[in-house]
Amino acid sequence: MHLVLDRQTSPLRRSLGEEPVLLDPKVPSVARMYDYFLGGKDNYAVDRDASEELSKAAPSTRALAINNRKFLQRAVRYVAEQEGIRQFLDHGSGLPTQDNVHQIAQRVDPDSSVVYIDNDPVVLAHGRALLADNDRTTVITADIRDTDGIMSDPAITELLDFSKPVAALFVSVLHCIPDGDDPAALVRRVMDRLAPGSMLVISHLVSEDDEVRNRLTDFMLTATQNNWGRVRTTAEVSPFFNDLELVDPGLVEISTWRPNLGDVTQQTLEWIEFGGVARKK
């Protein structure tokens, strides 16, 4: 869970130096709710209240958030170490926390370039502070659906060379995209613009139980004032990887994707994060 999509107040595209349009602090942000579940402090009372209510509806949500963060870290490390990727485009990055994408990638190679995209001004403010002394990493506020705008933004093209492989990250964000905006088409647009050898990393909230799926979707739509998408099924998420070469072990519940020795994962009962890593041929 990475961002709140606010069509009324969010800019389509804003570079690092521009002032963002403020979001309504009375409406929960998924980015800040995710921060709360991970034990962060960059959230408001409205986010904490919504998170606690969500925990009543789905008690394993905190464990789900922790598992998802660990998946992100493992996937980035794999892509950097094993695939040799040195460019990362993180859609719906959320608030900075421990072991962010740029920290993992730049431990492998200090010259790795990372662009974070989110549309919550709180993310921009904290990203600016965190990245002030890092000239290989930037953060922009943008609507992740605006692929053309993002890929032509000078703040991004100064860092990323799209003629070379890029890792496109959509970690716990595509369930924020409504069906009408076609999240699968969004992934295709991005991957079509990337060079062969590029990588795709996705995790997505899913449930095979109709009642659970509808109940949790309704809760998030109400909490965010309809600025959300929906919980989907594994069969609906799998086509996001069409025409790409899946990395073993394929598409799985993400706590089982190449776990580190000694990793302690908690089972999530109501919903899971489902996804994997794939390569563009």
What is the residue-averaged pLDDT of the chain? 85
CA-wise closest residue to 230 among 177, 170, 169: 177
User: Do 151 and 159 form a contact (C-beta atoms < 8 A)?
Assistant: no
Query: Distance between terminal CA atoms of the chain?
Result: 29
pLDDT digits (tens, 9 = 90+) for 19-43: 444 556 678 877 788 788 878 777 7
The per-residue pLDDT for 19 is: 42
118 Cβ neighbours under 8 A, 6+ residues apart: 2, 3, 31, 92, 93, 94, 124, 127, 139, 141, 142
Residue 1 pLDDT class (50, 70, 90 cuts): very low
Above 60 in pLDDT, residue 18? Answer: no
β-pairing, 137-142 vs 13-14, is: antiparallel
β-pairing, 252-253 vs 272-279, is: antiparallel
pLDDT digits (tens, 9 = 90+) for 75-111: 999 999 999 999 999 998 765 666 789 999 999 999 9
Report the distance separating Cα 10 and Cα 117, nearest Å: 13
Domains of the chain with bracketed CATH: 13-279 (3.40.50.150)
Report the distance separating Cα 228 and Cα 140, nearest Å: 20
Instruction: Please tell me the pTM assigned to this model.
Output: 0.85
